[in-house]
Amino acid sequence: MTDNFATKQAILDKIKAYDKIIITRHFRPDGDAIGSTKGLQRILALTYPQKRVLLINEDSSDYLAFLGGEDKPISDEEYKDALVIVCDTATTDRISNKKFSLGKEIVKIDHHIESNRTEYGDVKWVEEERSSLCEMIADFYNTFKSELVIDSLAATYVFTGMVTDTGRFKYSSVNGETMRLAGLMLDQGIDTEWVYANLNLDEFEVLKFESYVYKKMRVTQNGVAYIYVDKKMQKKFSLTNEQASNVVSYLDGIKGSIAWLAFIENTDGSIRVRLRSRFMTINALAEKYNGGGHDRACGATVHSKKEMKQMLLDADQMVHDFKSTNTKWL
């Protein structure tokens, strides 16, 4: 793993230099985005009680509501003397707080694959091999633990994001360092039963939707599992955007299926796509269709059923090519 101590030190120096720090993340937040930003905010607020540390975004998460809310918007003028820290967001068009660019300086902390269109920030700390942004926040604390302060609440935020972004620590991005940093968070006194109960328990309607998905899902000739969740289905089961998007996690247990895609119809008629895989990388397919992310977990957007069908054909061909030249898959 790359030694980014100089970059981490530069970020800490920036934090020390500002009296006002504004933290933001990507829109439609997942557990990693929520956990990393709330965890970082809590650590900085505990360490520097004299500073104003704000977490400001333009949307929220029902799924992660148990972790608490964020701060209210502030005026444009208040950004001018602030350090803005953007977490878990590869591209500026996905930043939830659209006022982020008003900040005096911008720090980017991320773990998504970089490309020419993802570059922004006066200071950038990007580690694509990290399992989660929360792992990086835990590492940031660990690096400067002689200076930084943490408590069980901050650790709970960070640990929750690690749990959700690693698939409960089962994804291939998990390594020994991931587990050591998770252990460091656990050492702060986390109530793991409470965390897992909030993450795992669903409303009865959501469970009925899951059952419905298993009836409607399909698998291509070469083993790409997929489901299309249109607006009618979302209305039938009273699904939030998060609940509809989470459908991709229902498709991951099929033997012989090493890639799975969930297509979710948006209110404007476009279709967002969530892509997952095992053994093979799938990010190139996401990038072809206006998206990106991680090697085996990424997102994209298509604009018609015709384009959706073409994406499925491309995915099926990708799986065919992988299986014909590799034996390490189930």
How distant, in Å, are the alpha carbons of 212, 239, 242, 326 from that of 204?
Answer: 13, 12, 16, 41
Q: Is residue 179 pLDDT above 80, yes or no?
A: yes
Quote the domain boundaries for residue 292. Answer: 205-325
**Type of residue found at 297:** A
pLDDT digits (tens, 9 = 90+) for 142-166: 999 999 999 999 999 999 999 999 9
* Confidence band, pLDDT 50/70/90 cuts, at residue 330: confident
Q: Is residue 203 pLDDT above 70, yes or no?
A: yes
103 located within any domain:
yes
Q: Three-state SS string across 253-270, please?
A: CCCCCCEEEEEEECCCCC
23 located within any domain:
yes
pLDDT digits (tens, 9 = 90+) for 273-310: 999 999 999 999 999 998 988 899 999 999 999 999 99
Q: What is the pLDDT of residue 118?
A: 64
Mean pLDDT for all residues in the chain:
95
Q: Is residue 3 pLDDT above 80, yes or no?
A: no
Q: Do 220 and 148 sit in the same domain of this protein?
A: no
pLDDT digits (tens, 9 = 90+) for 10-21: 999 999 999 999
Residue 289 belongs to a domain with what CATH number?
3.10.310.30
Residue 123 belongs to a domain with what CATH number?
3.90.1640.10
Mean pLDDT of 167-183: 95
DSSP symbols for 193-239: HHHHHHHH---HHHHHHHHHHHHH-EE-TTSEEEEEE-HHHHHHTT-
pLDDT digits (tens, 9 = 90+) for 102-125: 999 999 999 998 776 668 999 999
34 located within any domain:
yes
Instruction: Report the C-alpha gap between 317 and 66 in whole angstroms.
Output: 41
Instruction: Report the C-alpha gap between 273 and 288 in whole angstroms.
Output: 12
Per cent of the chain over pLDDT 70 is: 98
Q: What is the pLDDT of residue 121?
A: 96
Q: Do 195 and 209 sit in the same domain of this protein?
A: no
Q: Do 212 and 132 sit in the same domain of this protein?
A: no
330 located within any domain:
no
118 located within any domain:
yes
Q: Do 235 and 167 sit in the same domain of this protein?
A: no
Q: Do 110 and 241 sit in the same domain of this protein?
A: no
The residue from 174, 199, 224 where one domain ends is: 199
pLDDT digits (tens, 9 = 90+) for 53-97: 999 999 999 889 999 999 999 999 999 999 999 999 999 999 999
Expressed in percent and rounded to 5, the helix, strand and coil fractions of the chain are 45, 15, 40
Q: Is residue 328 pLDDT above 90, yes or no?
A: no
The residue from 199, 223, 246 where one domain ends is: 199
